[in-house]
Structure 1
Amino acid sequence: MKKRHEVLFNQLETYRQELLNSVINVTKEEAEVIPEGFNNNIRWNLGHIYLDQYMWIKILTKDNLYSERFNQSFGFGTTPSDFNAETPSFEELKLLLKDQTYKIKKLYGDRLEEEFQPTEMGMYTIEQVLIRTVFHEGMHTQAINDLKKCIRNN
């Protein structure tokens, strides 16, 4: 594996651990709260992060990496009002997120530079997609931190 790919996976693992650490003391009940001024809750943000990373890989590779239930609950434009009995729980999402980076590395670690039809954003390799998802995960980690602050200050 190239040095830059090792660095990329190290970053993915580090940022994912930061995300998981940010919810380690969040209760199931707190994960469901939508404070005034917010559209989503902590649970939704976790599911959206999980979906987003696999969704962009799927757009390139056409590999089916996740169940349709994730799109219905955590896709762009969804909210917790879209949750149903099939929506993964807060605990399930934490476990899925914990394993996701390892699974991506195992499945695609040697295919990061393989070229596919470009996405609408012009990305054509898995490496480019993963770099984009690091930024996206950071935005939602901050949203989770903001949600926690609002929930715990009320």
Structure 2
Amino acid sequence: MSEEQLFEQMKMWRNWTVEFLRTIPEEVVDQIPSGHNNSIRWNAGHILVGWDNMMFPAVDKERQMPIPYHLMFPGGSKPENWTEQPPSMAMLIKQLEEQPNFIEEACRAHLDKPLKKSFLGMRTLGDMMIFHMN
């Protein structure tokens, strides 16, 4: 798959995610289904943090998301441990819309760049991008 196709696919998946999130009423975004640890709001923030953590440092760029996001939404975290007010869904959706453009700007022409450290068998930034889309 070409670099252009990867960026377009990333934007397509992200647009579908944003469209879906817009259909969810505010009163349910913080509900945590029985047997699960996290809410829809947490998952929206986790998408932002996951991409932020993996893509920007790989091209020696600063992470774009605020520090509190990295404390609230990393893997293994859960809303019951939050010590501050989470961002609004409107803010998360806005950031989810904007993030793909920042990723493309930072990572274009770097997708073949080897990762500093292999992650789950992935060796290049392009591999990491595909992983995050799946």
If the TM-score is normalised by the length of the shorter chain, which range does it land in?
0.7 to 0.9
Instruction: In structure 2, list runs of 5 or more residues that go unmatched.
Output: none
Note if contact 1:44-1:79 (Cα within 8 Å) is conserved in structure 2. Answer: yes
| Aligned-pair Cα RMSD in Å | 1.8
Q: Does the residue aligned with 1:117 lie in a helix, a strand or coil? A: strand
Q: How does 1:2-151 map to 2 (within 5 A)?
A: 4-65=2-63, 66-85=65-84, 87-135=86-134
Give 1 or 2: higher helix fraction: 1
Instruction: Kindly indicate whether structure 1 or structure 2 has the higher relative contact order, using CA contacts under 8 Å at least 6 residues apart.
Output: 1
Distance 2:62 2:120 in 1: 20
Find runs of 4+ consecutive structure 1 residues off by over 6 angstroms: none
Instruction: Tell me the SS of whatever aligns to 2:72.
Output: helix
> How many positions carry a matched residue from both structures?
133
